[in-house]
Amino acid sequence: MSARLFHRLVYDQGQARMPPLQNPDIDIECDVAVIGAGTAGLAAERSARRAGARTLLIDDCFAGTTCASVGCMPSKLLIAAAKTAHSIGLSTQFGIRLGNVTIDGKAVMERVRALRDAFVASALESINGLPEEAKLKGWATFISGDSFAVNGQTIHAKSVVIATGSRPSIPKMFDGMKNILTNETVFEIDELPPSLAVVGAGPLGLELAQAFSRLGVDVTVFDQGDTVSALKDDNVATSLRTLLEREFAIHLNVNINASQSGETIDISWSGASAGRKRFTHVLVAAGRLPNLGGLGLANTGLELDDHGTPLFDRQTMQCGKSSIFIAGDCDAELPVLHEASAEGAIAGNNAARFPDVRPSNRSTPLAITFTDPPSASIGEPAGENTIVGMSDFSDQGRAKVEARNAGLIRIYADNEGRLTGATIAAPEGEHFAHLIAWAVEDHLTAMQLLEKPFYHPTYEEGLRSALKQICEQTRLPFGQDRDAGSSPGV
């Protein structure tokens, strides 16, 4: 298909015909070009199209979203298998004795891939639903702020959304080594590895570390930092680390060195602790880098930060005052799916409206790590004048019933008792996180939450202690008639 026929097909889809190409050096013109077909890119394209823009979606492979292919979904499939294995191991606490239980690692990984592929297929339906002429396979390189090249063709767009995602950050010490895994390769292994060093104690590293450990893999986690799961509350982070270390070793504040030894890898570490251990595999979960290489951002005139990422306004997703917008993991801000989707929608809408760019209210920050217990950060971290209420789950009634009585929740409030955030490492933490995020979003006070119904016996009752402490510190009264069943033993 010629470039000019492509141009005509893109813009004759039941709408007013686009004016003829004005510049003979330009092959394709569109209103909004979206570079990247992941979660943020798809959201941006939809949003721009709904706003009336003629869109062009560009991607180098159209392989599906990070979440479906190498992120959220395959990791949760592995975690689900691990949870089942762990539950069987705990059955004797309830007087249930099972026979010999074996873990078929090959079958575990086959199920992960089979269902992962189904999630990817579902994600690809959104892309396949677009007209062929409204998507272009290839890598885009900016020529200027409003034009770029793809496969030798020159594209001019009134506005552009960059949504190219991110890639694993792999330390140079692992260059050329065998059995080095990332989230993009770990789900492709045929069998569970005998041993695994996990480099990085962030959300991804801990989720996979615990999952593999519960499936019988000898796991050790290393991190240069001093916290786990990116938690900023030291009390909660310490609680979570203590609980996780019942299952596998975690070494924080350490520097590591690696060397290949035949088919295995020797890891030595020093710092807060020191040692040396041999592993069959290494999983690198040391963060992700914005996938901006090769875009030619230097040709756009955009102001870049020290890492080469465009500076942008998170309320509009606009890069400076330009017609370029950015969304998703490539902006290196909040690498989680719901934020990528929200950013894509904001960027796409504003790209379609440019230069009439409008700020959007962003939702309360919410990040969840699906360890057991889950951890979460909600809203703003505690500051110097923050009021803090705490709930310790070691004696919580429902948690004791289910042999899950461990963990901590710390809820933050302003001096009027209005909730501002929380940090969680407790059973059912992902559900608590949503409840608290909604309360923060609605500017509710601790007293207002205590006036809501709490059924007994539930995990949700565990919030009451923290909320009451906030009320006591702000001298806000709370209804004594709702105290029934608050005792952990009742």
Whether 10 and 126 map to the same domain: the answer is yes
> Is the alpha carbon torsion for 116, 118, 123, 124 positive or negative?
positive
- Please state the separation of Cα 456 from the chain's center in Å: 33
DSSP code per residue over 22-41: S-TT-SEEEEEEEE--SHHH
Q: pLDDT tens across 208-255, in order?
A: 999 999 999 999 999 999 999 999 999 999 999 999 999 999 999 999
Whether 32 and 134 map to the same domain: the answer is yes
Per-residue pLDDT at 417: 96
Nearest Cα to Cα of residue 370 among 424, 430, 329, 423: 430
CATH number of residue 240's parent domain: 3.50.50.60
DSSP-derived letter for residue 381 is P
- Please state the separation of Cα 38 from the chain's center in Å: 13
Domain end marker among 353, 386, 409: 353
Residue 89 is assigned to a structural domain of this protein: no
DSSP code per residue over 44-108: HHHHHHHTT--EEEEESS----HHHHHSHHHHHHHHHHHHHHHHHHTGGGGT---------HHHH
Per-residue pLDDT at 123: 86
Residue 71 is assigned to a structural domain of this protein: no
Whether 13 and 156 map to the same domain: the answer is yes
Per-residue pLDDT at 20: 41
Residue 394 is assigned to a structural domain of this protein: yes
Contacts (Cβ under 8 Å, ≥6 apart) of 20 = none
Q: Number of folded domains in the chain?
A: 3
Whether 162 and 293 map to the same domain: the answer is yes
Domain end marker among 286, 301, 327: 286
Whether 179 and 273 map to the same domain: the answer is yes
Is the N-terminal amide bond of 373 cis, ω within 30° of 0? yes
> Is the alpha carbon torsion for 130, 134, 138, 142 positive or negative?
negative
Alpha-carbon distance 221 to 243, whole Å?
A: 14
Whether 346 and 280 map to the same domain: the answer is no
DSSP-derived letter for residue 478 is -
Domain end marker among 286, 310, 339: 286
Residue 95 is assigned to a structural domain of this protein: no
Residue 92 is assigned to a structural domain of this protein: no
Per-residue pLDDT at 98: 86
203-214 and 72-89 helices, crossing angle to 10°: 40
pTM of the model: 0.90
Q: Is 314 exposed, middle or buried (0-12, 13-18, 19+ CB in 10 A)?
A: middle
Torsion of CA 62, 65, 68, 74, to 10 degrees: 100
Whether 199 and 302 map to the same domain: the answer is no
Per-residue pLDDT at 475: 76
CATH number of residue 376's parent domain: 3.30.390.30
Alpha-carbon distance 350 to 103, whole Å?
A: 51
Residue 73 is assigned to a structural domain of this protein: no
Whether 212 and 282 map to the same domain: the answer is yes
Whether 321 and 244 map to the same domain: the answer is no
Within the chain, which residues score under 70 in pLDDT?
1-25, 476-490
Residue 106 is assigned to a structural domain of this protein: no
Whether 44 and 120 map to the same domain: the answer is yes
Domain interval for residue 276: 172-286
Is the N-terminal amide bond of 457 cis, ω within 30° of 0? yes
Q: pLDDT tens across 265-324, in order?
A: 999 999 999 999 999 999 999 999 999 999 999 999 999 998 899 999 999 999 999 999
> Please, what is the Cα angle at 150 between 147 and 156, to 5 degrees?
25
Whether 462 and 399 map to the same domain: the answer is yes
Residue 107 is assigned to a structural domain of this protein: no
Whether 299 and 339 map to the same domain: the answer is yes
Q: How many residues does the chain have?
A: 490
Token duo for residue 101: 């239980």
